[in-house]
């Protein structure tokens, strides 16, 4: 059995897998008669697949809490579009990712714990685990390509991988 420990989500560490969407370092522009801070251009979207995929979609995910240690049975990827997860209550969540081509590089799998208010945009073709929420009822806006169901490829882990999250167990 292999043990994987969660690390804090940072822009530099997550860059090979996607973009951390976080306004912490952005200088806002004041709009709406000075009542709104606009933190512009925090990430771009790569959600147009091939002709016939349909328009990009916005979904609402309401998740159940995961319990740790958590057995990671598989990873998935979406080859034709990126996927964006935006926590709607500013809650933290865990994202598990791995580099790879036709299959994940299982020996390089990583797990990240977001800070409150951080969102992520996974690169197109990034191997990742399904949503890992920390509280029952955590809500996420998810933006993805129109061919999401047809474009999901899953592969089973070749060995048992247990995700540990000190302080969350």
Asked if the structure places residue 86 within a domain, the reply is yes
pLDDT tens-place string over residues 120-169: 999 999 999 999 999 999 999 999 887 777 789 999 999 999 999 988 87
pLDDT tens-place string over residues 77-121: 998 888 999 999 999 999 999 999 999 999 999 999 999 999 999
For every residue of 57-90, DSSP letters joined together read EEEEEEEPBP-SSEE--EEEEETT--EEEEETT-
Asked if the structure places residue 137 within a domain, the reply is yes
pLDDT tens-place string over residues 34-91: 989 998 888 877 777 666 777 888 999 999 999 999 999 999 999 888 899 999 999 9
pLDDT of residue 55: 80
Confidence class of residue 17 from pLDDT cuts 50, 70 and 90? very high
pTM of the model: 0.90
- Residue span of the structural domain in which 49 resides: 2-164
Question: How many CB atoms lie under 10 A from the CB of residue 152?
Answer: 13
Asked if the structure places residue 169 within a domain, the reply is no
Q: Domain containing 113 — which CATH number?
A: 2.60.120.480
pLDDT of residue 165: 93
Total count of domains within the chain: 1
């Amino acid at each position: 059995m292999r043990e994987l420990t969660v690390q804090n989500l940072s822009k530099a560490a997550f860059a090979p897998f996607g973009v951390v969407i976080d306004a912490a370092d952005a200088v806002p522009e004041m709009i709406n008669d000075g009542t709104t801070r606009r933190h512009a251009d925090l990430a771009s979207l790569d959600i147009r697949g091939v002709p016939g995929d349909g328009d990009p979609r916005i979904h609402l995910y309401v998740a159940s809490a995961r319990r740790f240690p958590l057995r990671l049975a598989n990873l998935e990827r979406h080859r034709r579009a990126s996927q964006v997860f935006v926590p709607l209550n500013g809650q933290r969540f865990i994202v598990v990712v791995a580099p790879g081509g036709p299959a994940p590089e299982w020996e390089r799998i990583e797990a990240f714990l977001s800070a409150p208010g951080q969102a992520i945009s996974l690169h197109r073709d990034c191997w990742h685990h399904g949503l890992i929420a920390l509280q029952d009822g955590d809500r996420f806006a998810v933006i993805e390509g129109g061919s999401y169901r047809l474009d999901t490829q899953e592969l089973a882990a070749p060995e048992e991988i247990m995700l540990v999250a000190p302080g969350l167990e």
